[in-house]
Amino acid sequence: MLLQRIEKHLRVRRMPPTRFGREAVGDPCFVFDLRDGREPRPKTIARVVRYLNDNEQNRAEEPQR
């Protein structure tokens, strides 16, 4: 479920997985590791969810083009 939400975020934002990992948790390989079956710790999941929520809120506040 977390990986699906991240993948959607990457598509919508047109963001490379390395940038997401670096910004969200300081690990450019994070998304690749998730795709390979990595199970993140609860604290890491909380950081990622917070990052996604903050960025989705910021996107909602952007003016429509």
All residues at 6 or more sequence positions from 61 whose CB lies less than 8 Å from its CB, including other chains = none
Tens of pLDDT, residue by residue over 26-63, are: 999 999 999 999 999 999 999 999 999 999 887 655 65
Domain range summary for the chain, segments of one domain joined by +: 2-61
Instruction: Give me the pLDDT at residue 63, please.
Output: 58
Instruction: Give me the pLDDT at residue 58, please.
Output: 72
Instruction: Give me the pLDDT at residue 60, please.
Output: 59
Rounded to 10°, the helix 2-13/17-25 angle is: 120
Q: Is the pTM of this model over 0.95?
A: no
Residues making up the chain, counted from first to last = 65
